Structure 1
Amino acid sequence: MEKYKSLKDHVYDYIAEQILEGNLEPEDKINEAAICEELNISRTPVREALIQLASEGVLHNRARKGFVVRALSEREVKELYVVIGLLDGYAAKSACGQLTEKDLANMSFYVESMDVAIKAANFEMYHMQQTAFHNVYTQKCGNDTLIEQLEKMKSKLLKKSYVDDPEGKTREILLQTNREHRALLELFKRQAGDELFDYLMKVHWNPENAAYDVSK
């Protein structure tokens, strides 16, 4: 059963999405009036969502300036990678044996689509496909609290826009990340729960390889 979302939850998701898509960057001020107008809602749920995001460390509430997007230090990013790796690994292990042939086919489609998007430098499409890839198994883990906490942790990683540099470094980094997605898919096909947990924690979300974006 889909969890009921309050107006505050919808505002929370909207702001988190704006951050993840790079429409809101570190130190940007949140325009409460614009959000009210965009979502056609009153100020109360907007304030409630902003206060929650601030309590979770996504935003700062600054005197005389209001709510701004919080920049993360390198240490904080690495710490988030550790926690996300644990949660994502547990979600994958829990979903093992629950995925259908259609789920696996969808994940395979997303992996191939990501390769196409990266080679075409369509990084927005890449981000959409990688999110869909991970959602297939997280939604099958059977733990709504885990899913919610995982989404909150990921929302703290501020995605910056990918630049298609002349040397092709961005594309190579993302292609390597997608090779990891392909390895994850093979582990799911083998229902190798323990290996999935280790791979997500030690490789895919390795804090030593942490990038200041959400490319995973």
Structure 2
Amino acid sequence: MATSTTPAGNRPRSKADRAYEYIKEQIDAGKFEPHDRVLAGPLAATLGMSGVPIREAIQRLAAEGILSIEHNVGARVAVFDGQAYRDGMEALAVMDGVATALAAGQISTADLKRAEAYNDQIIALLDDFDPVQYSALNAEFHATLYSKCPNARILELVRHEWQKFANLRDPALNVDEVRARATVVEHQKILELIRTEASSAEIEQAARHHVLASLQARTEVQSQLLNTESV
């Protein structure tokens, strides 16, 4: 009989893995809303396991920014306040810019075509705009590029930051059609810089400014990082 494995590796799925996947699926499906408490006891009963793997899964989700742990309260579905959102977007801009620049030399023609295909799908959305589908395609576009980053630690950090925003469900922070139209142009610029073997500094700056432009469009706050050449 084949052994069930986690998507990220070849080790068998543990009870904590199962609990992690279940809780995350419930959050993604809206069964847990922002601020809702996530209690180990009921989850353990639902999944037929002890509280130990549930608590391990909760800690893992908290480390990813999906849950927050509050003293004397426990785990809640995380919510970004204004400052936390701005801080997170600036961190994402820095990490994505550096990761994309480092990845550039490893990105193949096939990778560029795949990223361009995601961008084309975003363009196709513009006349009947769906912000949820846009966010998914945008994340795939960026992952196609930064996933080739040869620095394992930077790759881990940028994935962590993107994961935080993948679980953000605040309609007030959705990208609108106007920003999406600007995004596809910025995507094309990043791809052209990589295709023409531009300098790492140029690629890093374009990728970083792209994320910061989204921050400014969503919050009307201009990051000080827009005034720097590189980080």
Q: TM-score range with shorter-chain normalisation?
A: 0.7 to 0.9
TM-score, length-scaled by structure 1: 0.75
CA displacement 1:43-65 (0-9 Å, x = unmatched) = 43331121233356542334675
Q: Distance in 2 between matches of 1:92 and 1:176?
A: 19
From 186, 197, 202, the counterpart of 1:180: 186
For the 8 Å contact 2:99–2:146, the answer to whether it is kept is: yes
Q: Cα RMSD (Å) of the superposition? A: 3.5
Radius of gyration: which is bigger?
Answer: 2
CA contact (8 A) 1:11 1:49 kept: yes
Counterpart mapping for 1:48-67 below 5 A: 48-55=56-63, 57-62=65-70, 66-67=74-75
Q: Which residue is equivalent to 2:94?
A: 86
TM-score between both structures, scaled by the size of structure 2:
0.70
Render the CA deviation track for 1:74-126: whole Å, top value 9, x for unaligned. 22222222221121111111111211111111111110101112322233332
8 Å Cα contact 2:179/2:217 also seen in 1: no
Aligned to 1:102, which of 95, 110, 115?
110
- Counterpart for residue 138 of structure 1: 146
**1:201 pairs with one of 184, 208, 212:** 208
Contact 2:19 2:53 in 1 (8 A): yes
Q: What is the aligned counterpart of 1:115 among 119, 123, 128?
A: 123
Residues 1:55 and 1:204: Cα distance change in structure 2 (over 3 Å): closer
* Greater length-normalized contact order (CA 8 Å, ≥ 6 residues apart): 1
Q: 1:103 to 1:84 in 2, by over 3 A?
A: same
Identity across aligned pairs (percent)? 24
Q: How many residues align?
A: 206
1:25 CA displacement: 4.0
Distance 1:24 1:211 in 2: 25
Task: Please say if residues 139 and 162 of structure 2, whose CA atoms lie closer than 8 Å, have aligned partners that are also in contact.
Answer: no
**1:89–1:73 CA distance, 2 compared to 1 (3 A):** same
> Residue 45 in 1 paired to residue 53 in 2?
yes
